[in-house]
Structure 1
């Protein structure tokens, strides 16, 4: 019981905080304040068209375009932009759309950086490149406050780096990114562990952006900006308002039906469904789930599944009461009989969500994530919260008439 109370309390705080954030006086006293993340169709964002160019070093080919799309996808995702739209147009163009209030100039700068990393000796020989990297992670020294990017080379890169440092003790090895010298340190001793550092950053955010570029890899071909502009939400304000009204009316209709048909258990179910909604919204906020139209559809679908679970439970409860069992015995027996059906239906839907997530892309994966979260939350509220509330009502002794439970 204590666990349920804690979960419900935290979910309530996290879910209502974004609404109260508009009030500065209330906002500063709320520990879990976050903004809901809206997708392109609800909020708009930035639209960028990239065009690949031939150079003497690299010609544009179908394979190069696939590599370019993969690199852009990794960069955008690691920069923390959720639900991006990245698609190829023609033979040489990529369309990139990012949701949110993003500075178009900054977005373009980060997306199209070449990010070609080199380690060069004093005689101009390149000994290691970004292709030899295994990982790049930004960090901050807690003692000195120095911001840096920690580099880890793959086995081949580690061997090259060890040989280069051993052969250049007392000499400079420059660290160069996109032709710009970041550092030119003197090698003090051979470095056999395959690790290096880049320092001199002003902020952790700057180091993070560089680490993302290095992890995602260099662009395989030269890219020029063909178009960049801010875009509005794909769903107009009028349509969005109508959708909100339809959602409110639909939820109210469900709540009223549950009370009229199932009476006291229906009232309990309504309260459990409100708790379910708070838990789901709190998870969305905590995970920064991007809310798009497919995501909202998944939330409503999972809400319907949560209602269905309560319907199965209450029908079994009514059957047990009609056999003459006591209220507490009927509640336990009803839940026991309903559990298998609820578990099977939720498990199959969750499997479908996992398949959509791993095989789908873009909005399909967003739909799968929100649906999966809703399924898990509906199982928790139906099996735990609803049962706990019904036992509280039964223990209170205020309502003993079986007719109040729909029997």
Structure 2
């Protein structure tokens, strides 16, 4: 156990150096943060003397990743939005009515006259003038049903139809409601994320909670009302004729044209006519669907004015490309295979079902599908965040000093080795947090404090085993070797059980609970590494140089 080969020593040292290098920027947080902001601004808007000066405040050859500070540490705005998903069913039935109307109108000779009574509680009601023709009308309306675009409901259709006397009632199936709920939540998350990302705030937290709620936390934002106003803005969706495409970001678009980047095609830019054919204001609906060969596709529908403009354009430009632009980025550029009258069409391509759903979400990302209800809102001031950071710093320092003193008084020289490993351990935790871009919150600091207390457990187990082996009159080398060997299983078992707990907390929890679980889990990994390898490396190097005939732990 005392034999550590040269390549193992090199790997241990390299791991320590890399981990501490990744953690280093956090010691110079304001300077590195200003550097990162300047670099990001130059990528978007180009260089300026002020930005170049800010970027030069931190060497570009050094890592610049930081541990992001959460809302409770930086201050900012917090919202919990609840989406009334039932309102979406009403809109879906409004979108289905034109197809039902066309089907009934084309078969008026079989069913006679009919009229829509209205849409209430997510149900479309249609009265058939001749009650005897209701069965035929039911079959006609059922033919309008389409498969549910969901992997969990492959054999289900989107609508169910029933009759009450002379009234036909059309409603969404349970499978379609579930798929609609999922698409609505994805769409809302996408819209909110795009709106908030435009502001350039650092590491906002936007995550789904439960079936119909979205948690939104934006560090550094002035107030919750500002965040609500930000979410309420509208995305800019438009459809443009394509002039050409290029891999050169500096290519001249020409008078009356614009140059927009592609989202899916890395390094590709589209030259488009500046004036769109239609805009997102004319888009009524967009849903994942299937093409004539059964492959995933995306169907869309415009209102009457937008449909007329789109129909004329597609009739005059068959074979040409047109670009779907969202917030000055091309999300898709399909080819017009034929004229698309009536204001509806389908986008086909080599989509998977998930990709077609995502594209449909992006197409509808101009506005939230339903008006959110904010059930919780609060603003955390930066002063409170500073107080939280100071309290967390004091807690870490007190815990750190207490553990260092205890280990030195209890184990002497070996305790010093454990203390050095503990310092490295904390550095490695921050290095990993910086590497993965994790967000540190107050519960996360609690996880680090707990890790500091737990980090020496493995060393205590090893040192106590060495003490026991020395009492049996074994030599120092043999006692150290057996101490590490016999303590290893206990170290692994204890840390695995705690790590499983951290994983469960991360999977089942949300928000602060996840922050605690992340720091606890990473702390366990670094603690095991420092106890099994780093501390042992110190002991081996010390023993090789001192060659003591007796040791006292």
- TM-score, normalising length: structure 1: 0.70
Tell me which residue corresponds to 1:98.
217
Aligned-pair CA distance for 1:75: 6.0
Quote the Cα distance in structure 2 between the aligned partners of 1:31 and 1:99: 28
Residue 4, structure 1, aligned to residue 38, structure 2: no
How many correspondences in the alignment?
Answer: 366
Moved more, 4-13 or 154-163: 154-163
- Aligned residue in 2 for 1:353: 502
1:327 aligned onto 2:491: no
- Alignment partner, residue 39 of structure 2: none
**1:364 correspondence with 2:520:** no
Cα drift, residue 292 of structure 1: 0.8
1:50-61 aligned at under 5 Å gives the runs 57=91
Q: Which position in structure 1 is the counterpart of 2:369?
A: 221
Deviation at 1:247, TM superposition (A): 2.2
Residue 402 of structure 1 pairs with residue 551 of structure 2: yes
For residue 289 of structure 1, what is the aligned residue in structure 2?
438
Correspondent of 2:395 among 246, 255, 274? 246
Bigger RCO of structures 1 and 2 (CA < 8 A, at least 6 apart):
1
2:27 alignment partner in structure 1: 19
Q: Is the Cα contact below 8 Å between 1:299 and 1:370 reproduced in 2?
A: yes
Pair 1:31-2:62 in alignment: yes
Q: Does 1:187 align with 2:321?
A: no
With over 3 angstroms needed to count, the CA separation of the structure-2 counterparts of 1:99 and 1:4, relative to structure 1, is farther
Relative to structure 2, which stretch is displaced further, 28-37 or 287-296? 28-37
Q: Residues of 2 paired with 1:253 and 1:359: CA distance?
A: 33
Distance between the aligned counterparts of 1:293 and 1:162, measured in 2? Answer: 44
Q: What is the CA deviation profile of residues 222-272 of structure 1, one whole-angstrom value per residue up to 9, with x for unaligned ones?
A: 326979986425955445423422321221111011011100110000011
In structure 1, the partner of 2:266 is 140
Query: What is the DSSP-based 3-state SS (H/G/I as helix, E as strand, rest coil) of the residue aligned with 1:99?
Result: strand
CA deviation after TM superposition for structure 1 residue 350, in Å: 1.0
> What CA deviation, in whole Å up to 9, does each residue of 1:326-373 have, x standing for no partner?
222222210110011110011111111111122222222222222111
Which region of structure 1 is more displaced relative to structure 2, 112-121 or 275-284?
Answer: 112-121
Larger of the two Rg values belongs to structure: 2
| Counterparts of residues 111-190 of structure 1 (less than 5 Å) | 111=231, 138-141=264-267, 156=290, 159=295, 170=318, 187=335
| More divergent stretch after superposition (246-255 vs 106-115) | 106-115
Q: Distance in 1 between matches of 2:331 and 2:57?
A: 48
8 Å contact from structure 1 (residues 172, 185) kept in 2 = no
Q: Residues 276 and 163 of structure 1: is their aligned pair in 2 closer, same or farther, counting only changes over 3 Å?
A: closer
For the residue of structure 2 that corresponds to 1:369, the secondary structure is: helix
Kindly indicate whether the alpha-carbon contact (under 8 Å) linking 1:40 and 1:234 is maintained by their aligned counterparts in 2: no
C-alpha distance in 2, partners of 1:192/1:236?
50
Superposition CA RMSD, Å: 4.9
When structure 1 is superposed on structure 2, of 178-187 and 336-345 the one drifting more is 178-187
Distance change >3 Å, CA 360–CA 51, structure 1 → 2: closer
Structure 1 CA distance for aligned equivalents of residues 417 and 364 of structure 2: 50
Do the aligned partners of 2:74 and 2:219 also contact (CA within 8 Å) in 1?
A: yes
User: Larger deviation: 21-30 or 112-121?
Assistant: 112-121
Tell me, yes or no, if structure 1 residue 260 matches structure 2 residue 409: yes
> Using a 3 Å threshold, how does the CA distance of structure 1 residues 304 and 215 change in structure 2: closer, same or farther?
farther
Deviation, structure 1 residue 217: 7.0
Q: How far is 1:139 from its partner?
A: 3.9
Correspondence 1:42 to 2:168: no
Q: Does the C-alpha gap of structure 1 residues 83 and 221 become closer, same or farther in structure 2, counting only changes over 3 Å?
A: closer
2:187 and 2:365 in contact (8 A); partners too: yes
- Tell me the SS of whatever aligns to 1:223: coil
Q: Which sections of structure 1, spanning at least 5 residues, go unmatched?
A: 122-135, 197-209
Runs of 5+ in structure 2 lacking a partner?
A: 1-8, 32-53, 93-119, 123-176, 242-261, 273-286, 301-313, 339-346, 353-357
Taking a change above 3 Å as real, the CA distance of residues 186 and 96 of structure 1, as seen in their structure-2 partners, is closer
SS across alignment from 2:77? strand
Q: Distance in 2 between matches of 1:301 and 1:163?
A: 53
Find the aligned partners of 2:427 and 2:402 in 1 and give their Cα distance: 19
Shift of 1:323: 2.0
What residue is the counterpart of 2:486 in the other structure? Answer: 337
Q: Residues 52 and 295 of structure 1: is their aligned pair in 2 closer, same or farther, counting only changes over 3 Å?
A: closer
User: Which residue of 273, 290, 302 maps to 2:451?
Assistant: 302
Q: For residues 64-103 of structure 1, what are the structure 2 equivalents within 5 Å?
A: 68-69=184-185, 71-73=187-189, 81=203, 83-84=205-206, 96-102=215-221
Do the aligned residues in 2 keep the contact of 1:74 with 1:216 (CA within 8 Å)? no
